[in-house]
Amino acid sequence: MSKNKRDTAAQSNNWPAYLLAALLATLAGFFAVYVNSGPDGNRDAETSLTPPLQRAPAAKAGDGPLAGLNSGDMATFLVHRAPKDVPTVTFSNGKGARVSLADWRGKVVLLNLWATWCLPCLKEMPALDRLKAEVGGDKFDVVAISVDRGGIEKPRKFLQKIDAKNLALYHEGDGTLSAKLRVVGMPTTLLIDARGREIGRLAGPAEWDSPDALRLVRAAISAGPTAP
């Protein structure tokens, strides 16, 4: 090995392992989503930016309740080392009334942003529906918000088409929700603790009713409102 190659290898070995893992997970998740690049964000057909999502090494999560659980089907779930404040966001429910994320305070929330033009979003919706059936209740909810422009009827018809029995219809089509939550593509899912703080997120589609996902969600629920 040449001196330059040995120097490069030595430098790379100095990177903290969790930073490398987090970077790989972020890149894998980002390139798996459909980026909202159209003028109205609601094109009839979108092209995936990369081949199917590749698993990345899990990032370390310190000593928090999710430590070691972002693996397997949740390998691209990024666990924050400290909870992050979530801005105040409002959106419409299926009856057209405005609701706020703060209305879910006291529950752990899996907040999912999706759109009917995003094929990976549509593929994961049944899994989200099954997750809510399995774990939903007074301590946990799945809040899937459509960001389709042009009204609420399109996402309503889609949920009816897939026979979603558990997911409630929520919608925000003015384009501000993604910016407030720092979401760059669909689908993106945030895990929010019972105190309303973001404790992790996953960019891209996932098997949300898999054993790995259930373990991660149940750990967040067990942590309760006093999660660090």
Please report whether residue 5 resides in a domain.
no
- What is the separation of C-alpha 19 from the centre of its chain, rounded to a whole number of angstroms? 20
Q: Is residue 1 part of a domain?
A: no
Residue 21 included in any domain: yes
Residue 102 lies in a domain: yes
User: pTM for the full model?
Assistant: 0.76
Q: Give the per-residue pLDDT at 64.
A: 75
CATH number of domain containing 151: 3.40.30.10
What pLDDT, on a 0 to 100 scale, did the predictor assign at position 107? 96
Asked whether residue 123 is assigned to any structural domain, the reply reads yes
Domains contained in the chain, number:
1
In a domain, 115, yes or no: yes
* pLDDT tens, position by position, 155-192: 999 999 999 999 999 999 988 999 999 998 999 999 99
Burial readout 120-150 (b: 16 or more C-beta within 10 A, e: otherwise): bbbebbebbbbbbebbbeebbbbbbbbbbbe
2 within domain boundaries: no
Dist. CA 210–CA 127, nearest whole Å: 8
pLDDT tens digits for range 84-128? 999 999 999 999 999 999 999 999 999 999 999 999 999 999 999
Range of the domain at 30: 15-226
In a domain, 3, yes or no: no
